[in-house]
Structure 1
Amino acid sequence: MFREPGPRVFHLPPGVDFAPALVAGLRARLAPHPPEAMAGVTLFLNTNRMRRRVIDAFCADGPGFLPRLRVLTDISEGMALPGLPSAVSPLRRRLELSQLIARLLDAQPDLAPRAAIFDLADSLAGLMDEMQGEGVSPEIIGALDVSDHSAHWARTRAFLSIVAPYFSGEGAPDSETRQRLAVSRIAALWQADPPEGPVIVAGSTGSRGTTAALMQAVAALPQGALVLPGLDPDMPDWVWERLTDAMTGEDHPQFRFRRLMERLDIPASAIRPWTDAKAPAPARNRLISLSLRPAPVTDQWLVEGAGLPDLAEATETVTLIEAPTPRTEALAIALILRQAAEEGTTAALISPDRMLTRQVTAALDRWGILPDDSAGRPLALSAPGRLLRHVASLMGRRLTSDALLAVLKHPLAFSGADRGDHLLFTRLLEMQLRRKGPAFPTGEALLTWAATRKETGLLPWAQTLATLIERAAGITTGTLADLVAAQCELAEAFARGTAAEGSGTLWDKEAGVEARKLMSGLATEADAGGVLAPVEYRDLFDAVIARGEVRETVAAHPGILILGPREAREQGADLVILGGLNDGAWPRLPEPDPWLNRRMRKEAGLLLPERQVGLSAHDYQIACAAPRVVLTRALRDAEAETVPSRWINRLVNLMEGLPERQGRQALAAMRARGRQWLALAAALEQPTPEMQADPRLQPAGRPSPRPPLTARPKELSLTRISLLIRDPYAIYCRYVLRLRRLDPLRHEPDAALRGQILHLILESFVKDRPAGEDPAGGRARLLETAARILGEQVPWPAARALWLSRLERAADFFLSVDSRDGGTSVALEGKGGVAVAPLDFRLVGTPDRIDRLPDGRLHIMDYKTGTPPTQAMQKAFDKQLLLAAAMAERDAFAGLEGSEVARITYVGLGSKPKVEETEITPQITDEAWEGLIALVSHYARPGAGYTARRAVLKERFEGDYDHLSRHGEWDTTSPPSPETVGPDA
């Protein structure tokens, strides 16, 4: 095939469809030979996807012989290499390393949290692979001078020494070590007995040491050749010569080719075209090439920029979309892909931002377009993966209501039998847990509840569930094998439910198969995992499953592709969209290296963090060379303004600085084409004229319903009067519509519970007061009472300790207020009620405490866990105690008839204890009572509406019924929208 002397290195320029061009070059070179000569060619390709594309390219030309196709990820495939050991499982190696790291953290707890053990093991395994791939031994790492580095790096270097046994050659090698061994043996075999047929490595940049070593060995063969993807033919020789320092050039897209030239000892001019195929847009390629020059030589923009062709013509098929939000960016991309599907154009979205690609997929679904996504779906987000993660979270920990219901509501839970009954019983259990708890469900509590119900089949269901949750809670520290087995058994039991046998649908379909494969692999390697606590196992399992993916069989659109950046060189689409071009996303920021800093890496001969940036830049350069290109980014994300990708910045700055080449006009045209798509995306979100005319789809007004007088409440409590003043709509929902807010699913030690507990403590303290108690005894009894009630009523240890501490700080203040007037408590949480004449209305209430003072008058008190209302707030809104005083003077409380009220007091026991006290006079109570009559009379009129959020204290006020009133479509500046409701409406 090759008559010219070696080393033979060829290239295909950016933009040329690599697979068909590679095949065309092979056929052209073998044209003088018989057809079977193709079978004698050995072709090493960079990925399995490229291998499939090469096969498709061969098949497109009709029947014929195929070359021997190998993939660089498994160099030894199909080759006889006696004595080459099998590689150890990557999972096993990471489990072994996790044990070493756990011991390190036992000795140095400040190095990292234990939850990061498996992540650190994965990072260390990656470093070991890199060391083995680049031929860097632990001795080189150990010889690094860290005298001028922080103590952290010294400890890290010492720790790295413990992985030295993995480099000794004893035992099973890592996959990268095996690859390097395979390359060494293959090179030795070829040197002794070169293969007769051509051997070609195609599609690789040689960025890893092992691959570069194979490429060097192939280039030395009599019939060996390399075909490089995306070599930049427009870069001058003097730039190639300067591209030698990794510290300044590693992030350049062509840096890896320069390293390969050094290995092969050839200049850039020795790399020849593989075929005569031309790039679709050579003028644009020159522009992109100049914009990507290494930083030290970007001053040449001014010199070489003048030699660029007309930029308006060079970029006429380039669109720049600068969307206001990621959602708008995704919609614009989806519209472009939709148009491509309608026109029959092959289009590829290339982006590392998986959130963006998922948003695009969701947007395409409205038109029934399912793209061919090369990444598949994360196994952790599949149905089996989520159930396994839920089950892992239950193991060995106190069960919460939300965690239990997350498992019960999972689509695979109790899928073995009676799924309908299971969903019904789950709903009943949810209502019970919301209304009455307990905060931490147990099997015993579940069975007690089920025994009180009459639904058929509920008790057997509850017995099955009780057994499962008690089994989950009883899991303790054990070997990894035991924990894996326990998780599998528990997950299968949850999926089986009340069925006699089986595992429901847990292991069904592609996702189930992948999940079972993952669990089997974890069980197989579990002997290397040591002993773990359930919480450590949960962290490990989450890290393992996060790396799994599942490819589901779907009828994807053949011409609409979603690819990762590394697949840019393998695509042959007519239209390429580069999405998510923001710094931090594309290119991704180098991940922090916990083992070696940048300088230590360079001294050791390892790859610098900028390597990934350089590889991404190469992918970007290749993708930008497609026939039609769309560059997209979002100006803001959910948190702040974004920073454009450095490549976009370079391109924009270069074009802005070349007005004589029409750079500014070209850039404006690119943005104008992008704005057209943004306008379409905005129009897609806008309602049609028909929708705008539909009153059902208009933004809601501020509701002010007017129900029939007969349906309006005839009785309210003292605490509801303030709500009637501030948010009348809430009174309408609660007492007219009879809607009650659902309690939260997870019971938390919130402010409401704290208030209830405080009232219980103080009520018990006052009620059980012994005669003649001194202040010191009162303080001790108060704290003893608080500790007892907190222990009985609050199942959260941290909340108990915090609340007891707060009460201890406020104890002296409370005791001083409690004994100040020498009164005697005559009513604690005593209920009372009185008719509001002449209206058909009754006011009821339960003051926290009523004392009889030595002069016979009453002192009404109310405890607050926060700040008590001021005098002005009491007068206008918070009338609870003022009205309680008026009720007492109207004989509302049994046993206190004929009593006069001396004062009312709000006792604030928050972080800053405070008292708000009001001396009561007949004028004050009469004024409060007349205000109540006026308020109730107002709502006794048919035209009075219950306006939402009429006079809230703060705009951040969270009402229980804001979602029902559609608050957000209106605000407090909107006028009320009165509407008559009810049977007479």
Structure 2
Amino acid sequence: MSKVFGLAAGIDFPAILVAGLRARMAGQAPEAMAGVTLYLNTQRMRRRVTEIFAASGAAYLPRLRLVTDLGQDMLMAGVPAAVSGLRRRLELTQLVAGLLAKEPDLAPRAALYDLADSLATLMDEMQGEGVTPDRVAAVDVSEHSAHWARTKAFLRIVTPFFQDGAPDAQARQRMVVERLVARWAANPPQEPVIVAGSTGSRGTTALLMQAVASLPQGALVLPGFDFDMPPDVWDRMGDAMTAEDHPQFRYKRLMDALDIGPADVRVWHDAAVPDAGRNKLVSLSLRPAPVTDQWLTEGEGLPDLLAATSGLTLIEAQTPRAEALAIALMLREAAENGVRAALVSPDRMLTRQVTAALDRWGIMPDDSAGRPLALSPPGRFLRHVAGLMGRKLTSDALLALLKHPLTMSGGGRGLHLKLTRELELEVRRKGPAFPTGAHLRNWAKGRKDEGAADWGEAIAAALEDLAGAGVADLADHIALHRHVAERLGGVELWEKEAGQKALELVEELQAEADAGGVLEVPDYRDLFEAILARGEVRESVTPHPDIMIWGTLEARVAGAELVILGGLNDGIWPKLPEPDPWLNRKMRKDAGLLLPERQIGLSAHDYQQAIAAPRVVLTRATRNAEAETVPSRWLNRLMNLMEGLPAKNGKRALGAMRERGRVWTRRAVVLEAPVAPVAPAHRPSPRPPVGVRPRRLAVTKIATLIRDPYAIYARYILRLFPLDPLRPEADAALRGQVLHKILEEFAKGRLAEETREAAKARLMAVAEAVLLEYTPWPAARALWLARLMRAADFFLSFDAQRGGVPVTLEEKGRVALAGVDFTLEGTPDRIDRLPDGSLHIIDYKTGTPPTEAQQKAFDKQLLLAAAMVARDGFKGLEGSEVSLISYVGLGSNPKAEETPITEAVTDEVWEGLCKLVAHYMTEGAGYTARRAVMKERFAGDYDHLSRYGEWETTDDPVAEEVGR
């Protein structure tokens, strides 16, 4: 009689497993239960089984073991200890690096760690399935010679690990199972031995299950066995190439190995499934692709689908956020009603969003996966520190590190926070773009706070240590990393669960560092972040007892009345197979390895079990941040099958599922809606008291006063000054400043008898020196120097065209307006004295100079400067006349805009300025936002303050009395 049992999907597997075991042990002595050995697949399953046994009172427990812990038995003392997975990956990294150094065409160096990791995964699989490198090498590759040549090169790396040395974890697990099987063959145990909850998807586990099935009292209890699938479908699932992604394929392979059929799999316990009709519907929808034609014939045998899907709800949210909110609302209702509910999803972004949404009601779900270590405070801190190793320090990276809650943690952190805030303002206002230790020390010494100098010294010394990192052994890298992290992190770095987990990882890396070899700093950063990304941490919180978040594997544990299957989009659930750089599908099949579709099949089995719960909600987002999404293949099949069965009320049932889902998406919309509608802001035109309005402006700000008066109000009345970004860039403003400095220095050094070639050489030499001093970005320096080289001939021709001699360079002038308490200031780039004694005012532009029409209406900078000269606004130029103004554009297409100047022109522009200033010196004049911008896309420094976007430039401005 077969010793293989099954439990259908939807049954509470741990509870019914225990019930069936108790039924079989009924009538025996109480201590007989202690003789039972029960092998379970996960720690969570073992905890649940223990809880179920304990709930019935004091009694003997069976020996509860995990299939992954077989090597703990004292009888396995002769089996060598497994080498750590980290050490093996470090060794493989070195070997792959050596191979890539010899054969760089095989792969880019950026793929070093991905290749080493995938190679380690391939080794694990080969060892778990009992496949040797010789067997892989024997595969017929006549049609894949190019691919195979690369694979053979890498296989040479892993071959020695199969021959000698400490075994990997998978190799040791197989050795343990083989020894256990041999021991059982010689002396089979007479007590019951049961493997429950495993599908036998890995070769080693399948070997154990076969051995248990052959024992006198051995038994297998399979979770989620599909008793509804006809025998002919089982018979047609023999080819892995077409059936590997089916949820029952692993059982088919196991039954073939045991030489039994589906009819030989007996029911472990007669417990009823929550909905037998739904199980039949899902089973039919999941048929392998070659036999989905059976939908047409077997679909007529399904029960009425309105009843079969009454416990199903389908949510098709518009966005992932809407999906998360709908799920959170359902979980909140379950918590209020005392319903045990679980969200099952492989999408960790979705589960984190749901957790955040539940926090508004103070509900903390029991998340089986915990939190990624890389996203915990210690993980982020260690990543910040690693990111600074061997790199030029930027202001944003510095402030990100200083603002981290673990930096300088512990008592007395107030000084650190105060100095950090002041330092941020300093670097945003004055720079530098790339702070150094010397800069930090000098800045800190200038503070009046007690302890500031010591603070600056500590930070500077640590950052200098990081910046000095170079090529070194892995041990040296991790030692430096840890030393600086502990110096900056304070006493709380290694505290609590996340800190302890991070310390454990760092210490493991230090212990295995001798296998890491010599690394460049970027390689170390990539390695550390890859290792950190694998870590998970469960923090000490008191979760809600009835609200859980599970991975797909936990769906086998069941025990929830409401199960929400979230993220049902293709690419998420199921996750698409990872590209295999080593073997294609056919080569894997010929070598006896698992196909990439194995993971899809396992996920399908998890889905089939989870969807059979008493109440199930299927959720997906129809769009993500990039594009429309595709429903999960399983959901797609289910919907298509139901759509094609109108006689069974399939369409009506699907519509009812969707309508039940719309209830929750509508609630999510209401949850996000504001309590009261918020009216959009109007176009502002503030009217402050005349007494606070600006009494002086530069000629460059007159264009701003004309185009965007609100910017003048914000800057000169509210005294709001825009800060530079955290990471300064080589932008147009800096380029303009640098260009003006270059041309100023060039003009100061002009020689009387200088040739064109000598002038050009001197211009480029000045440019190189100025760029080196003021532009710390090498790429920007090279680009700007090249642009200036292209414009140099044009500039020199313009410079020599009229024979002018510079009389002022960047010197400020000022003129008070008659009858108004207002002074106009200006600093022209350059004023030349022409041979006829008149003046020529010049302004340099890095872009296109303003046209004559633009100058007349808005850009009056040089026209006003000429009017100031006429009114003796510049010392040393009294009594002079301006005959010409020129805007010289030195951009990609150099050109000059020249405007002759007469007394009538300067009088006209001055009269216009007086009217403009007089207008804004009256109570009724408002500073209208974006009054006459040149382009709609013009970005102003104060658009966010005026709430531009809530209003348009076609809206009428609304005057507001302010400051009274």
Q: Give the TM-score, by structure 2 length.
A: 0.97
- Alignment of 1:821 with 2:815, yes or no, is no
The one of 847, 854, 857 equivalent to 1:873 is: 854
Write the distance in 1 (CA, Å) between the matches of 2:273 and 2:82. Answer: 41
Are 1:12 and 1:231, in contact at CA under 8 Å, matched by a contact in 2?
A: yes
Specify the alignment match of 2:103 in structure 1.
108
- Is 2:695–2:821's contact at 8 Å kept on the other side of the alignment? yes
RMSD of the TM alignment (CA)?
Answer: 1.9
How far apart, in 2, do the equivalents of 1:777 and 1:913 lie? 21
**Residue in structure 2 matched with residue 346 of structure 1 by the alignment:** 340
- Aligned-residue offset at 1:663: 1.1
The Cα of 1:892 is off from its aligned counterpart by: 2.4
Q: 1:978/1:148 Cα in 2 relative to 1: closer, same or farther (>3 Å)?
A: farther
Conserved? CA contact 1:252–1:614, under 8 Å: yes
Matched, 1:142 2:142: no
After TM superposition, list the pairs within 5 Å mapping 1:151-230 onto structure 2. Answer: 151=146, 153-168=148-163, 170-230=164-224
Corresponding position of 2:392: 398
Is 2:947 the counterpart of 1:966? Answer: yes
| CA positional deviation for 1:608 | 1.6
| AA partner of residue 645 (structure 1) | S
Matched to 1:36, the amino acid is: E
The aligned residue for residue 571 of structure 1 is: 558
Match of 1:42 among 23, 34, 37: 37
Matches within 5 A, 1:302-381: 302-381=296-375
Query: Would the aligned equivalents of 1:828 and 1:848 in 2 still touch at CA under 8 Å?
Result: yes
Select which of 456, 459, 468 maps to 2:450: 456
**Contact 1:311/1:662, CA 8 A, preserved across alignment:** yes
Three-state SS of the structure 1 residue aligned to 2:293 is: helix
1:499 alignment partner in structure 2: none
Mapped partners of 1:945, 1:354: distance in 2? 52
- Residue by residue over 1:425-480, the C-alpha shift from the partner in whole angstroms, topping out at 9 and shown as x without a partner, is 22222222222222222222222223323222211222222222222223332211
Give the whole-Å Cα distance in 2 for the aligned partners of 1:723 and 1:84: 81
Residue 291 of structure 1 corresponds to: 285
Match of 1:51 among 46, 56, 59: 46
- 1:374 & 1:90 partners in 2: Cα distance? 23
Give the distance between the partners of 1:146 and 1:799, measured in 2 at CA: 51
Deviates more, 1:865-874 or 1:340-349: 865-874
Contact in 1 for aligned 2:9/2:226 (Cα 8 Å): yes
Tell me the distance in 1 between the aligned counterparts of 2:215 and 2:757: 96
State the 1:815 CA deviation: 2.1
Match of 1:832 among 813, 818, 843: 813
Aligned counterpart, 2:68: 73
Match of 1:603 in 2: 590
Looking at structure 2, the residues matched to 977 and 258 of structure 1 have their Cα atoms a distance apart, in angstroms, of: 76
1:716 equivalent to 2:697? Answer yes
TM-superposed deviation, 1:284:
1.1
Q: Which amino acid aligns with 1:109?
A: P
How far has the Cα of 1:924 moved from its partner?
Answer: 4.3
Match of 2:568 in 1: 581
Partners of 2:823 and 2:797 lie apart in 1 by: 36
| Deviations, residues 918-957 of structure 1 (Å, cap 9, x unaligned) | 3445554444334333332332222222222333333433
Q: Tell me the residue number matched to 2:745.
A: 764
2:877 corresponds to 1:896: yes
2:242 partner amino acid = T
Match of 1:545 in 2: 532
Q: Any idea what SS the aligned residue of 1:819 has?
A: helix
The answer to whether residue 120 in structure 2 is matched with residue 125 in structure 1 is: yes
Pair 560,812 (structure 1): closer, same or farther in 2 beyond 3 Å: same
> CA 1:159–1:37 in 2, change beyond 3 Å: closer, same or farther?
same
The correspondence for 1:661, drawn from 627, 648, 656, is 648
CA distance in 1, matches of 2:240, 2:898: 75
What code does the residue aligned with 1:353 have?
Answer: D
SS of alignment partner, residue 742 of structure 1: coil
Within 2, Cα distance between the matches of 1:593 and 1:933? 75
Cα drift, residue 188 of structure 1 = 0.6
Paired residue for 2:465? 471
Alignment of 1:384-533 (within 5 A): 384-496=378-490, 504-533=491-520
Partner of 1:862: 843
Match of 1:883?
864
Residues 44 and 70, structure 1, Cα contact 8 Å, conserved in 2? yes
Of the candidates 737, 741, 763, which is equivalent to residue 782 of structure 1? 763
How far the C-alpha of 1:79 sits from its partner, in A, is 5.2
Q: Does residue 1:932 correspond to 2:932, yes or no? A: no
Instruction: Indicate yes or no: 2:619 matched with 1:648.
Output: no
State the alpha-carbon separation in 1 of the partners of residues 904 and 608 from structure 2.
84
Distance 1:923 1:314, change over 3 A: farther
- Report what 1:678 is aligned to: 665
Matched residue, 1:501? none
Which SS does the other structure have where 2:76 is aligned? Answer: coil
Amino acid paired to 1:108:
E
Query: Of 82, 86, 93, which aligns to 1:87?
Result: 82
The gaps in structure 2 that reach 5 residues or longer are none
Distance 1:111 1:931, change over 3 A: farther
Residue range with higher mean Cα deviation, 431-440 or 486-495: 431-440
- Change over 3 Å in CA distance of 1:786–1:346 after alignment to 2: same
The alpha-carbon deviation at position 909 of structure 1 amounts to 2.2
Deviates more, 1:793-802 or 1:964-973: 964-973
Q: Which amino acid is 1:105 matched to?
A: L
Identical-pair percentage = 67
Using the TM superposition, give the Cα deviation of residue 910 of structure 1 relative to its aligned residue in structure 2, in angstroms: 2.3
1:848 aligned to 2:842?
Answer: no
Aligned to 1:637: 624
Cα gap change, 1:216 to 1:797, in 2 (>3 Å): same
Q: 1:930 to 1:612 in 2, by over 3 A?
A: farther
Would you say the 8 A contact 1:372–1:556 is kept in 2? yes
Cα distance, 1:209 vs. partner? Answer: 1.0
In the superposition, the TM-score normalised over structure 1's length comes to: 0.95
Deviation per residue, 1:62-113 (Å, 9 max, x gap):
2211111111222223351241111100000011011011112222334444
CA distance in 1, matches of 2:147, 2:738: 48
**Distance in 2 between the 1:82 and 1:63 partners?**
34
CA offsets per residue over residues 19-51 of structure 1, 9 Å max, x none? 001001101111121121111111111100111
Q: Distance in 2 between matches of 1:889 and 1:752?
A: 30
Q: How big is the shift at 1:539?
A: 1.3
The 1:682/1:895 distance shift into structure 2, 3 A limit, reads: same
Q: Deviations over 1:570-601 (max 9, x none)?
A: 12110011111111111112122222233332
Alignment coverage as a number of residue pairs: 964
> Equivalent residue of 1:322, what SS?
strand
Q: Where does the alignment leave 5 or more consecutive residues of structure 1 unmatched?
A: 497-503
Give the drift of 1:376: 0.5
Asked if the contact 1:18–1:570 (Cα under 8 Å) also holds between the matched residues in 2, the reply is: yes
- Secondary structure in 1 matching 2:544: coil
- Select between 942-951 and 227-236 the one with higher mean Cα deviation: 942-951
Aligned to 1:500: none
Look up the SS of the partner of 2:423 in the other structure: helix
Cα deviations across residues 623-668 of structure 1 (Å, max 9, x unaligned)? 1111111111111111222222112211111111111111111111
Q: CA deviation at 1:974?
A: 4.1
Moved more, 8-17 or 596-605: 596-605
1:328 and 1:977 map into 2 onto residues whose CA distance is 37
Q: Which stretch of structure 1 is more off in the superposition, 958-967 or 550-559?
A: 958-967
CA 1:603–1:974: 2 relative to 1, 3 Å: farther
Q: SS of 1:76's equivalent?
A: helix
SS in 2 for 1:87: coil
Equivalent pair of 1:142/1:161 in contact (CA under 8 Å): no
